[in-house]
Amino acid sequence: MFGNMGNMGQLMKKMQKLQADMAKMQEELKGRIVETSAGGGAVKVTVTGEKQIKSIKIDPAAVDPADIEMLEDLVTAAVNDALKKVDDMMAQEMGKLTGGMNLPPGLF
């Protein structure tokens, strides 16, 4: 009966190390920058690993006062793509730490 307690203690230590490693990795990823564009480079967006937009650059040729809706769509597409790239980057790095374990979202 008490033999399993040692295994549980080892498991808890491994989980604590994994949690510490994940926190460290998340902190490192916050400093990373993701860049993306839409409309063949007409709109460029730079986002941090914390999903904070650092910059949005718009090619003056993309600014058509008669078609503001197209520019809005390009900005939306570029921002959404940048945020998805941050999510993908986080998932990829987390996968390296968890070794493919299917941990429930929000566990760490």
User: pLDDT per residue over 6-65, tens digit each?
Assistant: 688 888 888 888 888 888 888 888 889 999 999 999 999 999 999 999 999 999 999 999
* pLDDT for residue 91 is more than 90: no
Characterise 33 by phi-psi region: left (phi > 0), alpha (psi -120 to 50), beta (else).
beta
Q: pTM higher than 0.95 for the full model? A: no
Query: What's the CA gap between 72 and 50, in Å, rounded?
Result: 23
DSSP-assigned beta bridge partners for residue 53? 47
> Of 88, 94, 91, which is closest to residue 34 (Cα–Cα)?
88
Provide the residue ranges of all domains of the chain, joining segments of one domain with +: 28-97
User: Confidence class of residue 73 from pLDDT cuts 50, 70 and 90?
Assistant: very high
Quote the pLDDT of residue 2.
Answer: 54
> Of 87, 101, 105, which is closest to residue 26 (Cα–Cα)?
87
* pLDDT for residue 92 is more than 90: no
Fold of 28-97: Ybab; Chain: A; (3.30.1310)
Query: What's the CA gap between 16 and 103, in Å, rounded?
Result: 14
